[in-house]
């Protein structure tokens, strides 16, 4: 029986599909390509040598989502589909609540209708708001500070209510820290539209010369070098965490949240330094004012995932930098590029 992957054409979804296919799961992808390119799925086929069904469907389109469940005996859903830009969510809250929250309500309604109760959901470390301490464990207070974060928090709460209403539900909410890196083939990776908001894609575009320099947002935080500290995790490690979470939801009932991070924080300047060493490229930067809404330090206590999912991250910061760079160098214009062969 297939696994339905919503948002499977996106950054984390495509990497998870590689791991699913390599573990011999049958998959079906639902995506409306609002923030992705069908080319990622062509690359996925090339990379794995496997085929799968793709539905170009919006989660808000109830009739077509219903048809997917009608046509397929779905065993479980991994739900990545969602909008994720914090700044945009402040400007367009309605769009974010509709897309993320209503989209999830349509999905779970169809799951109930067709008796599919196994779900892995993409949450985020953003649900911890400004954490009271680090490392952050799952029992910390949950307070979102922007509409994007609130959609994640609301969905987590809705999923808990579903489990209260019907104990057949088996749900894992995965709270990702900062995914970076790319598949080591250089065939798939992160492909942000326009100027990147996040640090690693910004750095790789400075490295190719597409952007002139990096702005480091603040060097007066109470961290060792004054710049923000985050828990960067290789996207392939993150993808493997989904396979473990899927195995768990398929074998138990209940609802649980798990941090997926490395447990190790690195500052902006440490990441820049690691990237320069791994890529051999110089990253010019300037110190700029703090970005509104940023926190000083954020890194996970990932021990619950290790204990209960038998998962922990394996890849080093150097591998994250090397793989991010390989992807960017081979695909200077993301999926619109003709892949460049690197000697």
Task: Determine if residue 194 is left, alpha or beta; phi over 0 gives left, psi from -120 to 50 gives alpha, anything else beta.
Answer: left
- Reference 35, options 198, 239, 193, 196; nearest CA is 193
| Burial state string for 58-96 with b = 16 or more CB within 10 A and e = fewer than 16 | bbeeeeebeebbeebebebbbbbbbbbbbeebeeeeeeb
Catalytic, out of 148, 202, 299, 335: 148
Site for ligand UD1 in 10-49 (CB under 6 A): none
Q: Does 86 bind ligand UD1 (CB under 6 A)?
A: yes
Does 148 qualify as catalytic in the annotation?
Answer: yes
Query: Are 99 and 60 within 8 A, CB to CB?
Result: yes
Residue 44: phi and psi, rounded to 5, are -60, -40
Query: Are 80 and 121 within 8 A, CB to CB?
Result: no
The rounded distance, in Å, linking the Cα atoms of 150 and 135 is 22
Interface pick for ligand UD1 out of 53, 270, 276, 294 (rule CB under 6 A):
294
Our CB check for ligand UD1 shows the closer of 25 and 241 to be: 241
Smallest separation, CB 145 to ligand NAD (Å): 14
Q: Does 126 bind ligand UD1 (CB under 6 A)?
A: yes
Interface pick for ligand NAD out of 5, 7, 128, 328 (rule CB under 6 A):
7
Structure tokens at 323: 């793989």
Interface pick for ligand NAD out of 13, 149, 181, 265 (rule CB under 6 A):
13
Question: Which of ligand UD1, ligand NAD, none binds 228 (CB below 5-8 Å, type-dependent)?
Answer: ligand UD1
- Reference 264, options 205, 318, 331, 198; nearest CA is 318
Smallest separation, CB 334 to ligand UD1 (Å): 17
Active-site residue numbers? 148
Residues at the site binding ligand UD1, with contacts judged by CB under 6 A: 84, 86, 124, 126, 178, 197-199, 202, 214-217, 228, 230, 268, 291, 293-294
Interaction site with ligand NAD (CB under 6 A): 7, 9-13, 30-36, 58-60, 80-84, 99, 103, 122, 124, 176, 179
């Amino acid at each position: 029986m297939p696994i339905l992957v919503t948002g499977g054409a996106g950054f984390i979804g495509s990497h998870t599909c590689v791991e699913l296919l390599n573990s011999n799961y049958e998959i079906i992808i639902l995506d409306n390509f609002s923030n992705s390119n069908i080319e990622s799925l062509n690359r996925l086929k090339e990379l794995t040598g496997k085929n799968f069904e793709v539905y170009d469907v919006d989660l808000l389109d109830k009739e077509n989502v219903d048809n997917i469940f009608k046509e397929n005996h779905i065993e479980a859903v991994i739900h990545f589909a969602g909008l994720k830009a914090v700044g945009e969510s402040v400007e367009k809250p309605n769009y974010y609540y509709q897309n993320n929250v209503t989209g999830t309500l349509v999905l779970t309604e169809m799951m109930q209708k067709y008796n599919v109760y196994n779900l892995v959901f993409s949450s985020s470390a953003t649900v911890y708001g400004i954490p009271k301490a680090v490392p952050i464990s799952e029992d910390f207070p949950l307070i979102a500070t922007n509409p994007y974060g609130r959609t994640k928090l609301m969905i987590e709460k809705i999923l808990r209510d579903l489990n209260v209403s019907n104990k057949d539900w088996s749900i894992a909410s995965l709270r990702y820290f900062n995914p970076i890196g790319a598949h080591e083939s250089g065939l798939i990776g992160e492909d942000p539209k326009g100027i990147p908001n996040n640090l690693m894609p910004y750095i790789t575009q400075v490295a190719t010369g597409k952007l002139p320099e990096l702005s480091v947002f603040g060097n007066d935080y109470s961290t060792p070098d004054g710049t923000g500290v985050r828990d960067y995790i290789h996207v392939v490690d993150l993808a493997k965490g989904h396979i473990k979470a899927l195995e768990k939801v398929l074998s138990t009932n209940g609802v649980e949240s798990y941090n997926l991070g490395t447990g190790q924080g690195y500052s902006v300047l440490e990441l820049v330094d690691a990237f320069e060493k791994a890529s051999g490229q110089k990253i010019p930067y300037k110190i700029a004012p703090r970005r509104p809404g940023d926190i000083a330090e954020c890194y996970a206590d990932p021990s619950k995932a290790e204990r209960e999912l038998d998962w922990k991250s394996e890849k080093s910061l150097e591998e994250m930098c090397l793989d991010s760079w390989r992807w960017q160098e081979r695909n200077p214009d993301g999926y619109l590029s003709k892949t460049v062969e690197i000697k």
